[in-house]
Structures are given as C-alpha cells and as structure tokens.
Amino acid sequence: MSVYTPLSLKEVHDFAAPYQLEVTDLIPIQGGIQNTNYFVVCDTAQYVLTIFEEMDEQGASELVPVLEHLGQQGLAVPVPLKHSGKSIHILKNKPAQIAPRMMGKHPMPSTVGQVRAIAQAQAQMHVALLDFPLQRAEYRDHRYWRSVAKEIQPTLDMADRTLLSNLLGLYDALSMMYPDRPRGFIHSDLFRDNTLFDGDELKGILDFYELNKDELLFDIAISMNDFCTDYPSVVLNEEKAMAYLEAYSAVRPLTEDEKSCLELYLAMAAGRFWMMRLQIAQKNAMEGRTGTDILQKNPVEMRNMLIERMKFVTA
C-alpha cells in the first residue's frame, strides 16, 4: 500500500463520480509494499481507492467474488463497490477499485483476545473457501517461493546460504513423512498490519491480493509468527500461540500431520518472508523506487525469526 502512482484530487473526483461519490479530500496511505492506496474522503463516509500496480484487470477482478462471498459469510472484509456492473475500472492505465474504509487500529502489540479473534476468523475463511470455484491466473504458492529462494540464494553470504539450504532440506524431508496437510485458498499475508481491531473485536481483514491455493498450515504459520511475536523480540509468545491454536481448532481441527509439521512451518513462513523482503528490496533498487512514500520492510527481522524458529525443528 505504498504510493507508486500519484493522483490529483480532480483525477479521483472524476473516477469516483460514476459511483455517485462526491470526493472532498484525498489522503495517500503509506504502508504495505505492492499497490497504491488512498483514503477517499466524502461528505458522509470514507473509502479506500486501490490502484493495482502489478495485476491486470482480469487478475484484480478475480478477487471481487471472493470478497463478496466472505462478506456474505459474515466476515469483516472490504467488499468493493460497483458501477456499470463491475468493481474494477481503469485509472491512469491501471486497474483500480473503490471499497469502504474499515475503521479500527492495527494490533500493535496484539492481545490474547485479538489473537483468538483473528485465529477464529482465519479458520472461518479457510472453511468458507474450501470449495470456492476460483481459478487464479498466477499463484504465489510454495512452489513460487521456492523459485524465488533459488534465484536469491546465490546472492547470499555463505552462512545465509547454509541457513536457507537447511530449511528447505528439512521441509523436503518432513513434508514427505507427514502428507495429510489440507490445501485450500489462503490469505497468505495475514499480518497484524492487514487487520483492524476495536479493542479485542475484529473490525476488518485487509489486503487479499496474495490470495492463492496452498496448504492451510502455511497461512496459520504466517499469522501465528506475527500475532504471537512480541517485537522487537522474535521469540514466539507461548501463551498467544496456544490461544491461537485453540481458537483456530475450535472451527477447523488440525490434522495430526499438520500438528507434527507446525514448528517446521513456522520456520518456513519466516523463511518465505525473508526471501520476499529481499526480492522486493532488489526490485525497488532496480526500478529506482525510493522516498518516504515507499515502504521497505526489513528482511533481517524475518531472518532472525527463522533462526529462532529453527531451534525447534527436528527431522
């Protein structure tokens, strides 16, 4: 949600007019890493304008029925507005949408109550999307991130190359030993900064642009790593981790193989985002993306988390 595409108030006013919205102000959102987002202020409400920087119109449109379905299931997600029968339109030669602004605060740090709430909602999402009829043009699933790791590994120093090789080797060994790991559509980026809370009440789940079909356990591990870690420490908070698993399992019990692989997947999730952040840093450098409007998350944080999580993984 960095600002890669600058917009004027008039440009947004013209884009919003077919939605019957009268725009009075425009506020850039500095956060996130992939798309351009603005708060759109109107007389009676606020909205979020998203410009998709890497997806084409088809790719952006694929997510709309998912959000509509989750909204119908009672989950707090931003369902995009429509005009002329569709939600995705073109602005500055890029796909764009307008969705209601969901109010609340990112849980920084999280409470045990917030951990329980997001775990329950994540399980509800997994169940709701198990049989959802969606084919995405491109998946950033585990195979994709293995290819990213293969590309980045030669740029690492010897210690980090060894760390990454050990992680992938353990994954190959344990995933063969414990094959009963259900797959389905997962959020893939359910960090605290993609959620909004009012106290312990979950008010919004944001940023579904990494939605793909992958192992449900990866989604659990990604969110547990973030919600159950009390930064700047990268040690997993055991009380929060147990609360997360209890709340999630009350909706969708984990298989025995998922339980056996959980520690490994916590390490894998940290490794995936270590690679992702390195990849984005390289891309920003190549394209000359700099300035206060561009958010760059620290890869070292995920590397340190990976080292910590690896202490508990055995083959």
On the question of pLDDT at 102 being above 90, the answer is yes
Tabulate helix, strand, coil % of the chain (nearest 5).
45, 15, 35
Instruction: Indicate whether 172 and 250 sit together in one domain.
Output: yes
Query: For the segment 295-310, what is each residue's pLDDT rounded down to a tens digit?
Result: 567 889 999 999 999 9
pLDDT for the residue numbered 293: 47
Q: What is the mean pLDDT of residues 6-24?
A: 95
**Rounded distance between C-alpha atoms, residue 97 and residue 236, angstroms:** 37
In contact, 3 and 28? CB cutoff 8 Å? yes
- Beta carbons within 10 angstroms of residue 218's beta carbon: 21
Instruction: Indicate whether 68 and 166 sit together in one domain.
Output: no
Q: What is the mean pLDDT of residues 256-266?
A: 96
On the question of pLDDT at 138 being above 60, the answer is no
Q: What is the mean pLDDT of residues 17-36?
A: 87
Instruction: Indicate whether 120 and 92 sit together in one domain.
Output: no
pLDDT for the residue numbered 2: 62
Domain boundary, last residue among 68, 100, 132: 100
Cβ burial, residue 147 (10 Å; 0-12/13-18/19+) = exposed
Counting the structural domains of the chain, the total is: 2
Report the CATH number at residue 57: 3.30.200.20
Q: What is the mean pLDDT of residues 90-96?
A: 96
Mean of the per-residue pLDDT values of the chain? 91
On the question of pLDDT at 41 being above 80, the answer is yes
Instruction: Indicate whether 297 and 162 sit together in one domain.
Output: yes
Q: Is residue 224 assigned to a domain?
A: yes
Q: Please give the residue range of the domain that contains residue 129.
A: 112-310
Q: Is residue 4 assigned to a domain?
A: no
Instruction: Indicate whether 67 and 128 sit together in one domain.
Output: no
Instruction: Indicate whether 52 and 121 sit together in one domain.
Output: no
Cβ burial, residue 287 (10 Å; 0-12/13-18/19+) = exposed
pLDDT for the residue numbered 260: 95
% the chain with pLDDT above 90 = 74
On the question of pLDDT at 140 being above 90, the answer is no
Give Cβ neighbours of residue 86 (< 8 Å, ≥ 6 apart).
61, 64
Half-sphere exposure of 56 (CA within 13 A, CB side): 4
Instruction: Indicate whether 193 and 304 sit together in one domain.
Output: yes
Instruction: Indicate whether 92 and 138 sit together in one domain.
Output: no
Instruction: Indicate whether 63 and 156 sit together in one domain.
Output: no
Domain boundary, last residue among 67, 100, 133: 100
Instruction: Indicate whether 54 and 161 sit together in one domain.
Output: no
pLDDT for the residue numbered 1: 42
Domain boundary, last residue among 56, 77, 100: 100
